């Protein structure tokens, strides 16, 4: 989810592949579902009609309300500025019943971040706390910020930068040991680069494309920026951790990405290293899960919704290669290929992950992975994990480019749409795959970082390009027909 012309082209290519008819249908006034209006079928599974927001920001169902709790450019409690491009996010338990929200920022060194337009506030932090100082001229402006929030009073307590000097921190994921893994969606190497939109040049001192771990802390402090190199160097998107095993699953935001897991040498202590592996579909090596049409408009060997596959895992080597070829080597060795793996979340013993450009219309798939009872051990060969194509709507009225997602306290998914159009929604998906609209933003920006507070009272979400973080409250409950 990089903020560049290249990525915008990739995002829009899905709509082009689907055809202008599909795009027209999604935006046509008669399409009540797409516009967030009442749809009798969808309303059975969701919260019904979305009411127009008088402020022109966010339409929500009856009984729900939102507040803006953070906006890019505002001064934080550490004297730095709220960075823009908020992306992946998690809300975790803090002290005294407070909620600690950790939020990524998908920025490059040419973007204005926490340090100000002319980097005049850079002096407020020690250079040792920057992963990449950019030769003192163009430090990494990505990283993470933290919001300490009281859901009982709907009040922000404090806000501060919590990781500095990284680049294009896209998504990530929470861990059972109360940290946040933040992921760089780039493979910039040390040297000189040019920003894709403006051509503006910047320097990097170090290689990028790594994960970093940030403590869940209500104290105003920066995390020591240590790259978790053995988790691989690639276009990272998101991670999710199995609380039973400590195994970390990772998605890759590339049209030809693969799906990874990391077996830590010491679960809960990722810095100790471990083994990086790629998912292989048994009896279908080097499988293409994308269901894309070829030049004849035919999907070769399509995978059906609900189809299940036993899997095995392939060890990967040279995981920090200077070449951006980990996914290519993995696929050639038998790993399955996915179309822009993005958000992933753990819930009820299984993992859901989105592929933004998957499906025959290239507008999104959501997959489900059920780990083996013996996941990560030699016995998993006897009872392997299971991969399932959970949904592939191929209908812009249902979901258009699924991205970040979360599992709600009652089991539904809440899914962000990743596009810059007039109609951009949060979409609910029931455990049996029924879709319903939950929110619609009028800011022509993607949703990102959707996550529930630990007490289940509040849904936090970002409007990425406008730089807003919202808190949504209302009568959360499982809806029934």
Can you give the three-state secondary structure of the chain, one letter per residue?
A: CCCCHHHHHHHHHHHHHHCHHHHHHHHCCCCHHHHCCCCHHHHCCCCCCEECCCCCCEEEECCCEEEEEEECCCECCCCCECCCCEEEEEEEECHHHCEEEEEEECCCCCCCCCCCCCCCCHHHCCHHHECCCHHHCCCCCCCEEEEEEECCCCEEEEEEEEEECCCCEEEEEECCCCEEEEEEECCCCCEEEECCCCCCEEEECCCCCCEEEEECCCCCCCCCCCCCHHHCCCEEEEEEECCCCCCEEEEECCCCECCEEEEECCCCCHHHCEEEEEEEECCCCCCECCCCECCCCCECCCCCCCCEEEEEEEECCCCCCCCCCHHHHHHHCCCCEECCEEEEEEECCEEEEEECCCCCCCCCEEEEEECCCCCCCHHHHCCCCEEEEEECCCCCCCCCCEEEEEECCCCCEEEEECCCCCCEEEEEECCCCCEEEEEEECCCCCEEEEEECCCCCEEEEEECCCCEEEEEECCCCCCCC
Q: Which two tokens stand for residue 271?
A: 């810095």
pLDDT attached to residue 33: 54
Report pLDDT digits (tens) over 311-334.
999 999 999 999 999 999 999 999
d(CA 180, CA 215): 6
pLDDT attached to residue 6: 34
**Separation of first and last alpha carbons in the chain:** 35
pLDDT attached to residue 40: 62
pLDDT attached to residue 198: 78
Residue 294 CB contacts under 8 Å (≥ 6 apart), including other chains? 300
Q: What is the pTM of this model?
A: 0.91
Taking alpha carbons only, the member of 412, 368, 418 closest to residue 396 is 418
Report pLDDT digits (tens) over 15-37.
333 332 232 233 333 344 555 55
Name the stretches of the chain with pLDDT < 70: 1-43, 478-481
pLDDT attached to residue 37: 52
What b/e readout covers 176-203, taking b as 16+ CB neighbours within 10 angstroms? eeebbbbbbbbbbeeeebebbeeeeebb
pLDDT attached to residue 199: 81
pLDDT attached to residue 16: 32
d(CA 216, CA 99): 10
pLDDT attached to residue 1: 58
CB 285 within 8 A of CB 336: no
């Amino acid at each position: 989810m990089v903020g560049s012309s290249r990525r915008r082209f990739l995002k829009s290519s899905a709509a082009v592949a689907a055809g202008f008819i599909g795009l027209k249908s999604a935006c046509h006034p008669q399409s009540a579902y797409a516009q967030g209006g009442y749809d009798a079928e969808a309303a059975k599974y969701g919260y019904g009609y979305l009411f127009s927001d008088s402020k022109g920001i966010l339409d929500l169902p009856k009984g729900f309300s939102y507040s803006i709790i953070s906006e890019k450019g505002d001064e934080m409690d550490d004297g730095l500025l709220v960075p823009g491009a908020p992306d992946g996010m998690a809300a975790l338990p803090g002290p005294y019943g407070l909620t600690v929200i950790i939020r990524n920022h998908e920025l490059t060194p040419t973007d204005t971040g926490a340090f100000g337009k002319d980097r005049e506030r850079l002096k407020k932090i020690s250079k040792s706390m920057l992963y990449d100082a950019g030769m003192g001229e163009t430090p990494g402006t990505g990283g993470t910020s933290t919001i300490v929030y009281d859901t009982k009073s709907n009040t922000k307590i404090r806000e501060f930068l919590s990781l500095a000097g990284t680049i294009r921190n896209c998504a990530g994921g929470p861990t059972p040991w109360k940290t946040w893994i933040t992921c760089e969606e780039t493979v910039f190497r040390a040297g000189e680069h040019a920003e894709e939109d403006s051509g503006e040049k910047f320097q990097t001192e170090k290689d990028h494309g790594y994960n970093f771990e940030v403590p869940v802390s209500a104290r105003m402090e920066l995390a020591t920026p240590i790259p978790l190199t053995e988790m691989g160097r690639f276009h990272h998107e998101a991670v999710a951790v199995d609380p039973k095993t400590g195994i970390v699953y990772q998605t890759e935001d590339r049209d030809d990405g693969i799906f990874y897991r990391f077996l830590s040498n010491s679960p809960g202590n990722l810095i100790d290293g471990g083994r990086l592996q790629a998912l292989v579909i048994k009896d279908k090596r080097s499988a293409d899960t994308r269901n894309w049409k070829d030049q004849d408009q035919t999907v070769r060997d399509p995978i059906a919704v609900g189809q299940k596959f036993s899997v095995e895992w392939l060890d990967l080597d040279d995981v920090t290669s200077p070449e951006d070829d980990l996914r290519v080597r993995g696929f050639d060795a038998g790993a399955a290929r996915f179309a822009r793996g993005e958000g992933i979340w753990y819930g009820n013993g299984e993992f859901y992950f989105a592929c933004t450009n998957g499906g025959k219309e290239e507008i999104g798939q959501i997959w489900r992975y059920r780990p083996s009872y013996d996941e990560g051990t030699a016995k998993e060969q006897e009872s392997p994990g299971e991969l399932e194509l959970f949904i592939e709507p191929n209908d812009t009225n249902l979901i258009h480019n699924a991205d970040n997602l979360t599992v709600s306290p009652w089991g539904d998914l809440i899914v962000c749409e990743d596009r810059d159009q007039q109609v951009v929604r949060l979409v609910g998906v029931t455990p049996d795959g029924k879709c319903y609209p939950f929110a619609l933003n009028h800011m022509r920006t993607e949703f990102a970082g959707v996550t529930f507070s630990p007490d289940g009272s509040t849904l936090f979400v970002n409007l990425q390009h406008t730089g807003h973080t919202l808190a949504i409250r209302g009568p959360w409950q499982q809806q029934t027909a």
